[in-house]
Amino acid sequence: MALALCGCAQATRGTAPSRDYYGTLEPMASDAVYFVVTDRFVNGDTGNDHRDQGGPDPATRSFDRPVPGAPKGESDNIGYLGGDFKGLLDNADYIRDMGFGAVWLTPIVDNPDEAFTGGDAVTWGGAFQDRGKTGYHGYWGVDFYRLDEHLPSRDLDFAGLTAGLKRHGLKTVLDIVANHGSPSFTMPRDQPKYGEIYRDGVLVADHQNLPPEKLDPAHNPLHRFFHNEKDLVQLSNIDDTHPAVLDYFVGAYSQWIDQGADAFRIDTIRHMPPAFWKQFADRIRAKRPGFFMFGEAFDYKAENIAPFTWASNGGVSVLDFPLKQRMAEVFGRGRGDFALLSDRLYLTDGPYANPYELMTFYDNHDMPRLDASDAGFIDANNWLFTARGIPVIYYGSEVGFERGKAEHAGNRNYFGQQRIEAAREHPIRAALKRIAKVRETTPALQRGLHLNVVMQGDRAAFYRVYEHGGQSQIALVLLNKGDAAADFEVREYLQAGRWRAALGGSEVEVGEGAGGVLKATVAAHGVEVFVLDAPVVRGDLVTALDRAMARARRR
Q: Three-class SS string for 275-327?
A: HHHHHHHHHHHHHCCCCEEEECCCCCCHHHHHHHHCHHHCCCEEECHHHHHHH
Which pLDDT band holds residue 6 (cuts at 50, 70, 90)? Answer: very low
The predicted pLDDT at position 106 comes to 98
Residues pairing with 449 in the sheet: 465
Q: Which helix (H) or strand (E) holds 265?
A: strand 263-266
Between CA 363 and CA 177, with CA 235 as vertex, the angle to 5 degrees is: 55
In this prediction, residues 32-55 reach a mean pLDDT of: 98
The predicted pLDDT at position 11 comes to 34
Rounded Cα distance between 312 and 331, Å, is 36
Rounded Cα distance between 290 and 300, Å, is 27
pLDDT of residue 514 exceeding 80 = no
DSSP 8-state assignment for residue 226: B
pLDDT of residue 555 exceeding 80 = no
Which pLDDT band holds residue 515 (cuts at 50, 70, 90)? Answer: confident
Which pLDDT band holds residue 553 (cuts at 50, 70, 90)? Answer: low
Burial class, 289, CB count within 10 angstroms (exposed 0-12 / middle 13-18 / buried 19+):
exposed
pLDDT in tens, 175-214: 999 999 999 999 999 999 999 999 999 999 999 999 999 9
The predicted pLDDT at position 512 comes to 84
pLDDT of residue 509 exceeding 60 = yes
- State pTM to two decimals: 0.96
The predicted pLDDT at position 552 comes to 74
The predicted pLDDT at position 550 comes to 87
Spatial strand order of the sheet with 526-532 comes to 449-456, 459-468, 471-480, 526-532, 497-501, 507-510
Q: With b meaning 16 or more CB within 10 Å and e meaning fewer, what string describes 157-176?
A: bbebbbebbeeeebbbbbbb
Within 8 A by CB and 6+ apart from 470, the residues are none
